[in-house]
Amino acid sequence: MIILGIESSCDDTAAAIVKNGKEILSNIRASQDEFHREYYGVVPEIAARKHLQCILPLIEKSIKKAHVTEKEIDHIAVTTHPGLLGSLLIGVIAAKTLAYTWGKGLVAVNHLLAHMYSVHMTNCITYPYIGLLVSGGHTLLLHARSVLDIRIIGTTADDACGEAFDKVAKHLGLGYPGGPVIDKLAGKGDAHAVDYPFSSMKDKHGKYNVSYSGLKTAVIYQTDKFKKKKNPTKADIVASFQKKAIDTLYIKVKKAVEEYSINTVCIAGGVAANSYLRKIFSEDKGIQSFFPPLGLCIDNGAMVAGFAYHKIKHGDIEKEKSRLNPFARIIKSENLI
């Protein structure tokens, strides 16, 4: 089964052709980083306009690169939620139009489930597992029971983890997006130079919940208060910040692993590219950790097409194409579906 996957939920326009849920025939992405850089964050209107500009040529390119014809495509899958509404609308309109004109099946995809599925594209993983989805917009701890049954057990009370990386980088004048720059610079710093507070929430707010606004504020305004080294460098500051931001996630995952008696852990989303995060999880012999390859951590069309394959197998395809709609938020709070 050949599926065209379209992703436009935030600031990356992406399209991919995937065969039978795993075989990536093409996976193309147009990053908008350069257009949002001067604002240190995604500007929704710019994002939507850029999607509009490049989505059709990008889809065309993904089909050409996969060496398939439009006739060979069985279904069209598109991210419908959650995300920026203006951005989602562009992908949804493109997918609907193509599905109508080419006479293809149309599949609505939850962006978060697609991110989690990205880990499966290059690994053989059995359910259940504890999932960690960390990106610029989301920080979720998940209990994954099957490909279509994934429950949220923890989240952030305020900023997402990736967002905290972006804001700290902005404050230190390191550019945008902040995650990759901090990751690189942290390698040259001393992670014990500043003892920032953990980003954990107290149990009454949900024992698996985190909060990044306190850590972010501590880095921006209180480095002097927490410093252990006399004159911490920028590299020391970001290494210390990164350690606390990631250690917090590690502690929460370990708690879930213990309480759910599950030792398989899958980590997805932009922050899953972080080298310190990969190191501490991989070095823990008490758990088996899986990650997507770096190219599938960021937003991409392959995870959308891959996940859609399983929805189709469960008969979950739009009966009436006209009814397909984007939503800014997830539809049910407990279960990601």
Return residues touching ligand KG4 (CB under 6 A).
Answer: 10, 135-137, 162-163, 165-166, 177-180, 183, 269-271, 273-274, 298-299
Structure-derived torsion over alpha carbons of residues 10, 14, 323, 315, reported in degrees to the nearest 10: -120
The verdict on 299 binding Zn ion (CB under 5 A) reads yes
271 interface partner picked from Zn ion, ligand KG4, none, CB below 5 to 8 A per type: ligand KG4
Closest contact distance (angstroms) between CB of 179 and ligand KG4 is 2
Rounded (5°) CA angle 22-26-32: 115
The verdict on 135 binding Zn ion (CB under 5 A) reads yes
**Taking the chain, what is the end-to-end CA distance rounded to the nearest angstrom?**
23
Closest contact distance (angstroms) between CB of 5 and Zn ion is 13
Contact segment (CB under 5 A) with Zn ion among 168-176, 195-203, 235-243, 292-300 equals 292-300
47 interface partner picked from ligand KG4, Zn ion, none, CB below 5 to 8 A per type: none
Structure-derived torsion over alpha carbons of residues 320, 321, 327, 330, reported in degrees to the nearest 10: 60
Please say whether the beta carbons of 132 and 257 come within 8 A. Answer: no
The verdict on 7 binding Zn ion (CB under 5 A) reads no
301 interface partner picked from Zn ion, ligand KG4, none, CB below 5 to 8 A per type: none
CA gap 98, 117 in Å, rounded: 24
Q: Which is nearer to ligand KG4, 15 or 271 (CB)?
A: 271
Number of H helices, E strands in the chain: 12, 10
Q: Which is nearer to Zn ion, 257 or 268 (CB)?
A: 268
CA gap 270, 277 in Å, rounded: 12
Binding residue count for Zn ion, defined by CB under 5 A: 2
Q: Which is nearer to Zn ion, 79 or 242 (CB)?
A: 79
Q: Which is nearer to Zn ion, 237 or 298 (CB)?
A: 298
- Of 95-114, binders to Zn ion (CB under 5 A) are none
Please say whether the beta carbons of 326 and 48 come within 8 A. Answer: no
Place of tokens 């052709």: 17
The verdict on 80 binding Zn ion (CB under 5 A) reads no
Strands 75-81 and 2-7: parallel
Residues at the interface with Zn ion (CB under 5 A): 135, 299
